[in-house]
Amino acid sequence: MKEYYEARAPEYDDWWLGAGLFTDRDRPGWETERDALIETLSALAPARTLDVACGTGFLTQHLPGRITGLDASGTMLGIAAARIPDAAFVESDALRLPFEDGSFERVFSSNFYGHLEEVERQRFLAEARRLASELVLVDSSMGRAPVEVEWQPRVLNDGSEWEIYKRYFTPERLSVELDGAETLFAGEWFVAVRAT
C-alpha cells in the first residue's frame, strides 16, 4: 500500500476536491458534506494530536491543537509539511508508531482504518490506545457504497493500476469495533466517531 500512496501523492487531493480523474464522477452532495465534516473536525477541542496516515494533510490542517502528522509516504509528508508549516511530521509505519506511551491526547486518522484487514486493525487500535486516551476516526460511509468490503481497482493519472482493500462503515459499526464510540458525523459519504 505504501507504494500506491507514494505514487498517488501528487494527485491525492483530487479525490477531496473533485478534480483530475474525479471531475466527472457523480457524487451528489460531496462538497457540502466534505465541508460539514471539516467544520466538525475544526470544532473539536484543541489537543496534542497525532494524525496517523495523514497523507497530504488535507484534513490535518483543520485539526485544532498541536499536531504531529505521520505517514509512510515521504512525498505525502512533503505536501503536508508545505501546507501546515507549524506541524511536526514523521515518516514511519502506521502500525508501529515510534512514540512513547501517552505521548498524545488524541490519535486521529482519516480514510486509513478502512484499508486495514483484521490483524492490522487490531495492531493499529492497540497502538492508538497506547499513545492517547482519545481516538477520532473518519472513514467512508456505507451510505453510497455498493458493498461493505471489496478489493477495489484504482487507476492513477499515469495509467498505473492498483488493487486496494476497502471497507465502508456506518457509525454504529465503527462504534462496535471500537468498544463504544460517540458519533461525530454521519453522512452519505463520510462517517466520524470518537472513542475514549
Rounded distance between C-alpha atoms, residue 47 and residue 50, angstroms: 9
pLDDT of residue 146: 84
Mean pLDDT split into 10-residue runs, the chain, 196 residues: 90 95 94 98 98 98 98 97 98 96 98 97 97 98 93 94 96 93 97 97
Cβ-contact 58, 16 below 8 angstroms:
yes
Rounded distance between C-alpha atoms, residue 24 and residue 170, angstroms: 26
pLDDT of residue 1: 77
Rounded distance between C-alpha atoms, residue 68 and residue 60, angstroms: 9
Please report, as a single letter, which amino acid is at residue 139.
Answer: D
Secondary structure class of 140 (helix, strand, coil): strand
Secondary structure class of 182 (helix, strand, coil): strand
Domains defined along the chain, listed by start: 2-195 (3.40.50.150)
As given in the structure block, the three cell numbers for residue 145 are 457504497
